[in-house]
Chain A
Amino acid sequence: MTAGYIQAKNVNLTFTPPNRAPVTALQEFDVAVAEREFVSIVGPSGCGKSTFLNVLLGLVKPDSGEMSIHGKRVAGPGRDRAMVFQEFGLLPWRTVEDNIGLGPELQGIPKKQRRERGRHFIDMVGLSGFEHHFPHELSGGMKQRVGIARALVSDPDVLLMDEPFAALDAQTRDIMQAELLRIWQEAKKTVLFVTHQIEEAVYLSDRVIIMTKRPGRTKSILKIPLARPRGYEMRVTPEFNELKLRIWNELKDEIDSQGGPVRD
């Protein structure tokens, strides 16, 4: 494996929940992502794919393994990475504007500059006019737009996305996927995207990493050679379905033997 922009090698992590047997979440897990690449990780529920994002984010320390971003070792949270959370993680007592200003605020940037920087990203995610709304006044899709803007505003090199659209209804999810592609092309970020939806992974990604069931390891990596920009029509082409089927066939064994939930 060649050295990538995001490089994780031999990552091992075992949890020991109180009064439970230890759980090996990640075993000798390797990932390499190129700059400005869009890579998805798919795998059965509980395979450790979300855990890996938390490790890369710096919130969870692995037992062993080497991780670096642009040659810089990962040791705790840093400005070069930002996460978009599945359940949004917005502060209910803050307006859209102030939620988006969280990262800059923690970097000590004065309020006026935070607002100015935030405005650009509020426009980018299509939330103009909602600056002073509170999260409870927004729909699920709009909440996640805030989550994306909040991640982008600190200008991170890497965007980590942990099943960001799993909490949305199907139509909103379709719209948000298209929006994400547009934003990704505009913001020029490296994206590592965790999902359990095969179609989503194929539609969005340059490459898809397929994980085994727990303990999570890389089972195979699939290139998605579909042209960009990608429209909704692409989803009904034979090539697209061919790719979906190949991923499904890889995943099937992992899911069947576990009897876990399957969603597409």
Chain B
Amino acid sequence: MDKFFEDWRRPILGSLAIICFFLAWEAILTWGIPLNKFIISKPSLIFAGLFQDMNSGLLWRDLLISGRPLVFGYVAAVLVGIPLGVVMGWRVRVGYSLDPLLTAFYASPLVAVAPLVIIYFGVGVAGKATLIFILCVFPFIFNSFAGVRSVDLLLINAVRSFGGREWDLYRIVIVPTILPFVVAGARFAIGRGLIAVLVGEFFAASEGVGYRIAFYSDMYVLDRMFGYILVIMVIAVAFTEGIRWAERTAFPWRVGM
């Protein structure tokens, strides 16, 4: 029993805290403060509402609507961000030129341009995907950039001394060096991508998770609104933990670093 607790204490304690949080929330609004449905809801109502949205198929449709631009924008961010970051790291002049400009963009709250993006690219998939791309691309750029900068020249020399050519340097040294950096960026980009989806749909949409949250909020159906927020939280955690798990399995040598 002790051994069992020792091995699993992280997930056990973590889950326990979540359960206590919901129980306390439920208890306070049941026996403590009288429930005012216009400003707050409680877990029992939230889960009941969530099941209704699942059964009616509304939740799944909204997830699909929001998921598509997320995939498009995120994949585009990977495809543009990584090569750009690598070139910035490998070619000193490109790095010096672009670093300040891109840092300024990265540091500013880009969601502010959401209305413009929607005007330019429309309320459909294109507009949302563009906004997601704009927010997600920077972690990929800067993490690949930092990754290339941290390539160990000794390893480059070692591979060259055994007859390695340019392509071998990429394959054997550079890509394995930047991979952990890129994965860390990917984890960060997920969070920014989810923000972009919601913000895009808050502004202009007739479907999707963000639209639904805004809609339920406007209608004061707070239990349903909280249900959707809960779903977003679960998705965010699933993605982040999934990437973290992939990181551990794919880079066993990092365990000791």
**Which residues does A use to contact B, with CB under 8 Å?**
54, 57-59, 77-79, 81-83, 85, 87, 89, 91-93, 102-103, 106-107, 134-137, 154
Contacts and interface: CB of A to CB of B under 8 A. Distances in A.
What bracket does the count of chain B residues touching chain A fall in? 20 to 34
What is the interface of chain B mostly: helix, strand, loop, or mixed? helix
A87 B154 contact: yes
A131 to B, nearest CB: 15
A137 B253 CA distance: 9
Contacts of A91: 155, 158, 172-173, 176
Contacts of B257: 92, 136
A77 B162 contact: yes
Contacts of A78: 163
The 4 A-B pairs of least Cβ separation, nearest first, read A136-B256, A89-B158, A103-B162, A134-B253
A155 to B, nearest CB: 12
A107 B154 contact: no
Interface of B: 154-155, 157-164, 168, 172-173, 176, 251-253, 255-257
B256 A137 contact: yes
A85 B163 contact: no
Nearest to A86: B154
A72 to B, nearest CB: 15
Contact of A93 (B158, B162, B168, B176): B176
Given A85-B158, A89-B158, A134 B256 contact: yes
Given A87-B154, A106-B168, A92 B253 contact: yes
A93 B253 contact: yes
B162 A154 contact: yes
A89 B154 contact: yes
B256 A59 contact: no
Contacts of A93: 176, 251, 253
A58 B157 CA distance: 10
B172 A77 contact: no
A107 B162 CA distance: 9
Contacts of B157: 54, 59, 85, 89
Given A93-B176, A93-B251, A106 B158 contact: no
Contacts of A154: 162
B209 to A, nearest CB: 38
